[in-house]
Structure formats: C-alpha cells, structure tokens
Amino acid sequence: MTKADLIDEVSKISSLTKKETETIVNTIFDNITDALSKGDKVELRGFGSFRIRHRNSRKGRNPKTGSSVDVPQKRVPFFKVGKRLRELVNG
C-alpha cells in the first residue's frame, strides 16, 4: 500500500475529500518525522512504536574493491511492531 492508496482508503470511509485526507495523512507523517528527528519516541498503541537507534562506528568493506572503509556512527529510525498487529499478521 502506498501513501496515495492510504489516502484513497481513508477518504472512502470518511466524509472527507481526498485533498482534506491528504492534508491529515501528511500532517501525521510530518509529526512522526519531526518527533523522531528530535529524538522522541512515537507510540501508537496496538500498532507499534517508532524510535531512533544509535549505530556505533565500525569497519566496513567496499564490496566492489574489497578494501576496508570506516563507517561513521549514525542514528537510524526503528519500528517495533505492537502486540496486536503482530498477532493479526501471524494469524
């Protein structure tokens, strides 16, 4: 499902236009992104939580040349699935 598909589905079950629905969906994603960029955790009960994980610097390998490269430390987004969603997916 793409973001456009999500907008279509929400628009169908609500009394909102696609443009209004798009604004709401974009606002939700923007708020999640802003919270994560500030280092905050975003928790959606029954669905899951988004947080930032820190990856330490390490030695990597260039697959093309085989030479060793330094990979700097970085922050990466991480999603932990909620119990209800996990149960629905696993049937």
The closest of 75, 74, 69, 77 to 57, measured between CA atoms, is 74
CA distances to 68, 69, 71 from 56, rounded to whole Å, are 16, 14, 9
pLDDT the model gives residue 35:
97
Backbone angles phi and psi of 78, in degrees to 5: -140, 135
pLDDT tens figures, 1-16: 999 999 999 999 998 9
For the structural domain made of 3-90, what CATH number should be given?
Answer: 4.10.520.10
Helix (H) or strand (E) holding 42: strand 42-44
Q: Structure pTM? A: 0.77
User: What integer pLDDT is reported at residue 91 of this predicted model?
Assistant: 78
pLDDT in tens, 11-67: 999 989 999 999 999 999 999 999 999 999 999 998 999 999 999 999 999 999 999
Alpha carbons 34 and 36: distance in angstroms, whole number: 5
Distance between CA 8 and CA 34 in Å, rounded?
Answer: 24
